[in-house]
């Protein structure tokens, strides 16, 4: 655990940077009408090819993985990634909670790909999600834009369109989400010595506070996981 915390120590300047994360552009859940569903997932696998660069693995520092820093930062090229995210499965918390009908509620798995520029850390992302509802599996496609440019402040944004493709789900529209990167809780706080996420309020906005990871938010009990909170809108 100590080694994993040391890998997160790049976040010592977090508190000063959090104010930048309070930009109105990150108020991802303040939309009308209310979200159709909300999901919480964790990145349990990510294969990355930094071109130029190398292939950082899931146990590398999240900042290293995000910005292809396993070699000298080149400032050009692409970052190709293929990831699996899960919520409510294999001992992980989360899942998706949708309308009272239950048509979009249950454990969720997402398989996603992205191609980002190493200049501005933006690029297209697409994937497929599966939700294990009480009435069977529903499948939806997702496509949009991933922005890692704020990862040094503990978060990244994603947004785009989604559409139900299989099962009883007849829904679709926009989705917006926040990736929360784990970091070492700053010295001088009661949580020092643990791993933390930025704290979000009920509307999905960073509060300026931090929250410690729960025991279930570590892969194998030791590796802090990247967390995704996403809001789905219908039509």
Domain of residue 107 covers 2-232
Per-residue pLDDT tens for 145-201? Answer: 999 999 888 999 999 999 998 776 889 999 999 999 999 999 888 898 899 999 998
Distance in angstroms (rounded) separating the CA atoms of residues 183 and 5: 8
Per-residue pLDDT tens for 73-106? Answer: 566 889 999 999 999 999 999 999 999 989 999 9
Q: What is the pLDDT of residue 51?
A: 86
Q: Count up the domains in the chain and report the number.
A: 1
Q: Reduced to 3 DSSP states, what percent helix, strand and coil does the chain have, rounded to the nearest 5? A: 15, 45, 40
Determine the average pLDDT of the residues in 117-125: 93
Q: Is 30 helix (H, G, I), strand (E, B) or coil?
A: coil
Classify each residue of 136-163 as buried b or exposed e, where b means 16 or more C-beta atoms within 10 Å of its C-beta: eebebebebebbbebbbbbbbbbbbebe
Q: The whole model's pTM is what?
A: 0.86
Distance in angstroms (rounded) separating the CA atoms of residues 64 and 69: 5
Q: What is the pLDDT of residue 188?
A: 87
Enclosing H/E stretch for 6: helix 2-7
Contacts of residue 14, Cβ cutoff 8 Å, sequence gap at least 6: 153, 154, 183, 186, 210
Radius of gyration (C-alpha) of the chain in whole angstroms: 17
């Amino acid at each position: 655990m100590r080694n994993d915390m040391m890998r997160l120590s790049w976040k010592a300047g977090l508190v000063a940077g959090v104010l930048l994360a309070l930009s109105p552009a990150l108020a991802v859940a303040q939309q009308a009408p209310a979200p159709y569903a909300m999901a919480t997932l964790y990145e349990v696998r990510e294969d990355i090819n930094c071109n130029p660069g190398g292939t950082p693995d899931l146990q590398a520092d999240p900042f290293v993985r995000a910005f292809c820093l396993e070699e000298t930062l080149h400032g050009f090229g692409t970052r190709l990634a293929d990831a699996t995210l899960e919520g409510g499965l294999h001992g992980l918390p989360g899942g998706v909670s949708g309308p009272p009908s239950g048509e979009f509620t249950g454990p969720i798995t997402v398989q996603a790909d992205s191609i980002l520029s190493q200049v501005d850390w933006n690029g297209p992302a697409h994937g497929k999600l599966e939700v294990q509802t009480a009435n069977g599996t529903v499948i939806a496609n997702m496509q949009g834009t991933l922005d890692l440019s704020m990862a040094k402040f503990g978060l990244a944004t994603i947004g785009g369109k989604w559409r139900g493709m299989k099962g009883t789900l007849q829904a679709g529209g926009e989705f917006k989400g926040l990736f929360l990167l784990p970091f070492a809780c700053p010295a001088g706080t009661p949580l020092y010595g643990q791993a933390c996420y930025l704290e979000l309020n009920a509307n999905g906005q960073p509060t300026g506070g931090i929250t410690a990871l729960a025991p279930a938010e570590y892969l194998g009990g030791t590796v802090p996981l990247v967390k995704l909170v996403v809001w789905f809108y219908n039509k």
